[in-house]
Chain A
């Protein structure tokens, strides 16, 4: 789009930026297109075209173990995203808005720990924690682990948004006799909503593709999709995996569309 406008005004900077934009899109989406394309390939090898076929989609739905992994992944991702978004947003507000509690500094520093700590360390820590307190590993321990590392990511994203929000808005709401909850609900939350959504999407992504932590804290029957895929080394990765990925891709695109539509509607209501 920038490219077209650039040509109209004749600015070469715009044109270069436009071309760059297309390259970025190509770089991001070409691999995805290839993945989707090969999910319809009749050949068993990923990367060899064998004519159009829906075989892998049929096999995928017939593969109980694969379907269970997919279901586990979705359950873990959805629940951990919702919980960590709520907790992460609350933590961000606490850190950004209420500056005078005693252990704030320590809490602030600890918040970044799960972000900078290597995955393995996190995985081992969680595994040992669960066994020390005597919890048996299951789908729940995966969820808790994902919530544990996702809170920090959500909090950081939301904080960035909060930092740019004019505190006078809150004060104005208070001046107009809004209580704290109304201030949050009608003023703060709408302003930071893009940050919250961004944090939630980040959490969803991190949860969906985590292997290292999940493989160590999973329990009987709780294998998630990425762990399943990595476990395929004794066999072979077939386009069945492309088919699952395509399905998930379609689902996440629908999700993003829905959230965009909801956001648009929210904005138009606000302007009205």
Chain B
């Protein structure tokens, strides 16, 4: 609900700000900066999700380059977009998710990155250098990535290899966990799951396919206890749900904390799921472009990239970092899925005008 509200807000801002923002969007700033690796031009204003970065990395960067980092936190991509688009605050570095990068590029809100300043760029896994939302990675560098799949109790899913979206959408299979199923309150993720189950792409722009997916959710609604994006891991661990739909990293921190790996598992259903990637990008309103580049380069360092993953339990797009990542994370197929599973994953890409189709279909399916 809240996300929908903020989405509306950001659309209002985007619609209303054409006037005020025009000068920054196509101004000289977008011509790109020229910075040396490690060059700084002032303190860094970092705009990121709460507790997404290891505080020690921030102190490390401050010490190494002699600048201060001011952190500001946002709760959704849409909030961040609204603020950047309005242009009232000079954030130097933001952390948008995949689909948001595309939106921001289209709106001329990001500056092209200066490859010369990113001497560690070679550390990036080739899978992330040319993502569909930002061809050639001209505007963004992958920060962390993960998957969206199902957390489950072994009582319901004895064999993770047999994990299927049918546990939610198939009336017969779903009967086992009826009333104890949670799905994300997110139109792209939840409709995407239904689309995958039906064998379609989760970036489908076909009205019929989206309607079919919505109907599937509507039919399954009696078995779904709640659409929740915030506390689903707690619901599973406390036994209120048996199957939950959610982001990889959240499940792991929760299982780890509850010391409950024997009881619960996480996996990507055999029909496929979502891969998401959060990125680092520099808005056109940034005032310290070189420091922002230096920060990106700092996190692309092998040991720093590993420290990030060891802190937040999300997979690192930094291939060179792997030797420093805790073995328990690296060997976990749920964090670093095997190649055949990876082949079944899709990024959520921008769908243009079909975005409203998704929003409407989801509201309709839930009602």
Tell me the A residues contacting B by CB distance below 8 Å: 43-48, 63-65, 69, 119-121, 123-124, 127-128, 130-132, 135-138, 141, 211-212, 215-223, 227-238
Contact = CB atoms under 8 A, between A and B. Distances in A.
B86 A131 contact: yes
Contacts of B88: 127, 130-131, 135-137, 141, 217, 219
A10 B230 CA distance: 49
A123 B90 CA distance: 19
A62 B76 CA distance: 26
Given A65-B50, A127-B86, A227-B74, 16 more contacts: A44-B254, A65-B51, A124-B82, A128-B16, A135-B88, A141-B88, A212-B2, A216-B82, A216-B86, A220-B47, A220-B89, A221-B71, A227-B75, A232-B51, A233-B49, A234-B51
Contacts of B238: 45, 47-48
B355 interface: no
A221 B52 contact: no
Contacts of A121: 12
A234 B88 CA distance: 25
Interface of B: 2, 5-6, 8-9, 12-13, 16-17, 20, 45, 47, 49-52, 55, 70-76, 79, 82-83, 86-91, 229-231, 233-234, 237-238, 249-250, 253-254, 257-258, 278, 312
Given A216-B83, A233-B229, A44 B51 contact: no
Contacts of A43: 257-258
Contact of A235 (B16, B72, B253): B253
Which of A69, A218, A222 is the most central at the interface, judged by chain B CB atoms within 10 Å of its CB? A218
A222 B55 contact: no
A128 B88 CA distance: 8
A158 B104 CA distance: 46
A215 B75 contact: yes
Contacts of A131: 17, 20, 86-88
Contacts of A222: 72
A85 to B, nearest CB: 27
Contact of A45 (B17, B75, B86, B234): B234
Contacts of A218: 72, 83, 89
A211 B55 CA distance: 24
A123 B9 contact: yes
Which of A47, A141, A217, A220 is the most central at the interface, judged by chain B CB atoms within 10 Å of its CB? A220
Given A231-B75, A233-B229, A137 B49 contact: no
Contacts of B83: 127, 137, 216, 218
Q: List the 5 shortest-distance A-B pairs measured between CB atoms, nearest first.
A: A44-B257, A231-B50, A230-B75, A137-B89, A231-B73
Contacts of B45: 220-221
Contacts of B233: 45, 236
Which of B45, B49, B75 is the most central at the interface, judged by chain A CB atoms within 10 Å of its CB? B75
B46 to A, nearest CB: 9
A65 B49 CA distance: 12
B51 A212 contact: no
Given A44-B258, A124-B13, A234 B86 contact: no
A43 B237 CA distance: 12
A135 B13 CA distance: 16
A176 to B, nearest CB: 53
Contacts of B234: 45-48
